Amino acid sequence: MEGAGETEAAGNGIDEMSASRKLMDEWGRKYQYVLDRLSPQLTLRWSIFAGVTLLYLIRILSISGWYIVTYALGIYLLNQLIGFLSPQFDPEMTGDDDMTLPLSGGDGKEFRPFARRLPEFKFWYSCTRAIVIGFFMTFFSIFDVPVFWPILLMYFIILFMATMKKQIMHMIKHKYVPFSMGKPSYAGKVPAKDSK
């Protein structure tokens, strides 16, 4: 008799696992659907990022704490920014100075868009996700490490300036622009007007 009860209990455990797995799969599909719908909408995505960032800053300033979380978040966002501004294939790493980096324009060559190491959508997604995670970390006191925040701010500003100087010098050395400005655009065929 006990064997049948154990089998039935094990069967219920499998049913519960498969039900929770189905629920997770359904939520995953819905989440992916939302991301797919947001993908072509550049302005909406960056507006969402600005809103989430503003909420995070309001939270940090209102609770006056969790500065170490903010510092770590700033370092992560800086790292993502460097990946966004860097070329996919770095000429210094490959040893080839005549890489296919797009030049600043007017060089008489065919237009090639800038190939980034971190594409814009992944840049937006990882930055937004990091801020949301940081926001939820502010609800747990274990992450509120007491620090003197002006020192962290000074460290971050120095790190930001040094990193951006290095990135700008890399752009100047290899003569590339990380933005596709001046891209030729074609409007297509203009319909002929009916003459009356």
The residue range of the domain holding 163 is 42-174
Let me know whether 21 and 92 are in one domain: no
181 occurs within a structural domain: no
Say whether 81 sits in a helix, a strand or coil.
helix
Please tell me whether residues 75 and 33 are part of one structural domain.
Answer: no
Contact 92, 52 (CB under 8 A): no
Q: Could you tell me if residue 29 is inside a domain? A: yes
Task: Compute the average pLDDT of residues 73-85.
Answer: 93
Whether residue 120 has pLDDT greater than 60: yes
Do 14 and 75 fall into the same domain? no
48, 117: one domain: yes
CA distance 85 to 112: 16
Q: Quick one: 141 and 126 in the same domain?
A: yes
* 12 lies in the same domain as 84: no
The pLDDT value recorded for residue 96 is 57
* Count of domains forming the chain: 2
Judged by DSSP in three states, 41 sits in coil
Same domain for 49 and 145: yes
Rounded distance, CA 2 to CA 143, Å? 48
Please report whether residue 117 resides in a domain: yes
3-state secondary structure of 87: strand
Report pLDDT digits (tens) over 162-191. Answer: 999 998 888 888 777 777 655 555 566 666
Indicate if 95 and 25 belong to the same structural domain.
no
